């Protein structure tokens, strides 16, 4: 696994989420200063989350466009779960834009279930709004 720094994380995130506001280097720096946060990844993508009180929250999973659709996201998700387990997590949750069909398919096929919806949660760069689906996985 490659050691990525905040500038690389920000670049990958911007490339993966072209229709949304990309997270900044500073935002990644702030997250990674927390002892609860961690990421797994390489030059093609990463998964970032935190573990608190036996639960992990997947904050983002970003894969470069050229590495999408070939199993790289699934591999990162598996590595993320393994690391979260080693940090004491037993269950997982995440939010995903209802318009992000490939990500939703990945999470549902990995055992996540939809538990709620936040209406008009995400604002896209073009000003349109998208709901956020809240998904959980009871056992990692």
Residue of 11, 25, 27, 95 with catalytic role: 95
Q: Given the DSSP bridges, would you call strands 45-52 and 129-137 parallel, antiparallel or unpaired?
A: unpaired
pTM of the model: 0.96
Average pLDDT of span 54-63: 98
Would you call 112 a catalytic residue per the annotation?
no
Catalytic residue among 80, 107, 112, 122: 107
Q: How do residues 63-86 score in pLDDT, each as one tens digit?
A: 999 999 999 999 999 999 999 999
> Is 80 annotated as catalytic?
no
The sign one gets for the Cα dihedral 82, 86, 89, 93 is negative
Summarize the confidence of residues 108-115 as an average pLDDT: 98
Q: How confident is the model at residue 1 (pLDDT cuts 50, 70, 90)?
A: low
Residue 119 is predicted with a pLDDT of 98
């Amino acid at each position: 696994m490659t050691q990525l720094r905040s500038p690389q994380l920000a670049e990958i995130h911007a490339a993966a989420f072209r229709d949304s506001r990309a997270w900044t280097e500073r935002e990644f720096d702030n997250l990674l200063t927390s002892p609860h946060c961690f990421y797994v990844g390489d030059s093609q993508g990463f998964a970032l989350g935190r573990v608190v009180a036996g639960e992990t929250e997947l904050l983002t999973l970003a894969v470069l466009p050229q590495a999408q659709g070939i199993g790289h996201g699934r591999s990162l998700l598996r590595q993320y779960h393994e690391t979260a387990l080693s940090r004491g997590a037993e269950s997982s949750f995440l939010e995903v834009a209802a318009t992000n069909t490939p990500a939703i398919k990945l999470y549902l096929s990995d055992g996540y279930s939809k538990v709620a919806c936040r209406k008009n949660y995400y604002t896209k760069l073009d000003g349109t709004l998208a709901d956020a689906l809240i998904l959980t996985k009871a056992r990692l």
